[in-house]
């Protein structure tokens, strides 16, 4: 499988890498355009990939660990409230992701958050230059690979503050801060309760295990994706698979309808003969029970087939877009019947006017880029 490009966001620059660090460049400066820099990096090294995984340097990530009662009625609401209290900036200005582990008497919640402004410009510059941003993760997730699935281990990441991340397999269990630099592998092992202690930059002569070999393997990237939903591209393969499943279900429902018709005819014949063939009455009753079950199942299958046709929605959307406009992202929420689109256009008045044919149009945001409007529009589809 072809590997994605990787960009580590630093406080004063970036680290660009491919093939898990075998090709690597470090850039420093405040006015860097990451889209242009990554384009030059691709051309210089002959890299064809445009998919990018973003990582935020550990010193720029805020990590929180919470314990919530098992009777907490709204866990997400409680987590949002705690973020607002504990983060050094407003919760609405944060990009965050969390995991929840149910323990004997509490929920153990691990949260990572970064300032939205730290990553937003990077994502937008990459998208504008034609890259696909696959995810945004804390830097520690680069080291979580399939090799560690059956291990209990800890990862030491030095920086302004030394962080120790404790893993059970590929799941993060705890995150600790260590004050001072006089600590050993043995002390950390005793503190964390695990024997295998890895270090991203082990001091000479120490007993730490070097974590760098983990970077030769593809990261799993299953937890703590901080990338906002508005930047996530639709999974078209998943859409196709869902469509194929729906077609199969409908075909199955059709076959059941045929069977239902056959059973119905059988009932009519049986009822005509019941006066002469009383022993068959019991069989007729059994057949009716079967038909009722079939009707209930067919009703369920038919309701599944009533989901909106995404292909038709996209076709209508394409037909009503102005000729000078094009889409960058598309998202559909079947429950609320909301379509969110992001793209470029020359005239927003013309754009929103044409989209009124589909439903109620709300312009969520717009920015000016290279003499064009970069827009985010939400459409509430007609019933």
Q: Concatenated DSSP letters for 208-271? A: PEE-GGGGGS-B---S-----GGGPPP-HHHHHHHHHHHHHHHHHHHHHHHHHHHHHHHHHHHH
**pLDDT reported for residue 264:** 78
What are the mean pLDDT values of the chain's consecutive 10-residue runs (383 residues total)?
A: 84 92 90 95 94 96 93 93 92 94 92 94 95 96 95 95 95 89 89 95 94 93 93 55 69 76 78 70 76 67 53 79 85 83 88 86 85 88 77
Indicate the SS3 state at residue 339: strand
Helix H or strand E encompassing 91: none
Q: For residues 360 and 141, give the distance between their C-alpha atoms in angstroms, rounded to a whole number.
A: 41
**Which residue bears the tokens 């990441």?**
157
**pLDDT reported for residue 298:** 59
CATH architecture of the region 310-381: 2-Layer Sandwich (3.30)
Q: For residues 260 and 263, give the distance between their C-alpha atoms in angstroms, rounded to a whole number.
A: 5
Q: What residues does each domain of the chain span?
A: 243-304, 310-381
**pLDDT reported for residue 8:** 97
Convert the pLDDT of each residue in 225-268 to its tens digit: 999 888 766 544 445 555 577 677 777 777 787 777 778 788 87
Burial of 38 (0-12, 13-18, 19+ CB in 10 A): buried
């Amino acid at each position: 499988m072809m590997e994605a490009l990787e960009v580590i966001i630093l406080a004063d620059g970036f680290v660009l890498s491919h093939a898990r660090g075998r090709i690597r460049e470090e850039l420093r400066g405040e006015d860097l355009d990451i889209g242009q820099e990554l384009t030059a990096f691709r051309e210089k090294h002959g890299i064809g990939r445009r998919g990018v995984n973003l990582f935020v340097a550990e010193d720029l990530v805020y990590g929180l660990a919470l314990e919530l009662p098992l009777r907490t009625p709204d866990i997400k609401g409680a987590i949002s409230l705690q973020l607002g209290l504990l983060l050094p900036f407003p919760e609405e200005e944060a990009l965050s992701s969390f995991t929840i582990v149910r323990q004997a008497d509490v929920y153990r919640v691990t949260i990572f958050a970064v300032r939205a402004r730290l990553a937003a410009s990077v994502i937008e510059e990459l998208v504008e230059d034609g890259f696909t941003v696959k995810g945004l993760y804390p830097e520690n997730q680069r080291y979580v690979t399939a090799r560690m699935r059956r291990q209990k281990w800890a990862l030491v990441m030095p920086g302004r503050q030394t962080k120790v991340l404790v893993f059970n397999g590929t799941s993060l269990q705890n995150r600790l801060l260590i004050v001072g630099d006089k600590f050993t592998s043995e002390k950390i092992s005793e503190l964390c309760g695990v024997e295998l202690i890895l270090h991203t930059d082990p001091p000479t002569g120490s007993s730490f295990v070097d974590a760098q070999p983990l970077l030769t393997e593809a990261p799993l990237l299953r937890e703590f994706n901080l990338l906002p939903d508005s930047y996530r591209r639709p999974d078209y393969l998943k859409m196709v698979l869902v469509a194929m499943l729906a077609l199969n279900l409908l075909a199955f429902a059709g076959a059941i309808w045929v069977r239902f018709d056959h059973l119905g005819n059988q009932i009519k014949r049986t009822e005509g003969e019941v006066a002469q063939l009383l022993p068959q009455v019991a069989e007729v009753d059994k057949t009716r029970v079967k038909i009722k079950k079939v009707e209930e199942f067919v009703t369920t299958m038919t309701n599944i087939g009533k989901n909106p046709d995404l292909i038709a929605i996209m076709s209508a959307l394409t037909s009503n877009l102005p000729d000078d406009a094009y889409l960058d992202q598309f998202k559909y929420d079947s429950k609320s019947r909301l379509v969110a689109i992001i793209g470029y256009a020359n005239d927003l008045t013309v754009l929103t006017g044409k989209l009124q044919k589909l439903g109620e149009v709300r312009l969520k945001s717009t920015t000016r880029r290279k003499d064009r409007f970069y827009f985010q529009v939400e459409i509430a589809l007609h019933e």
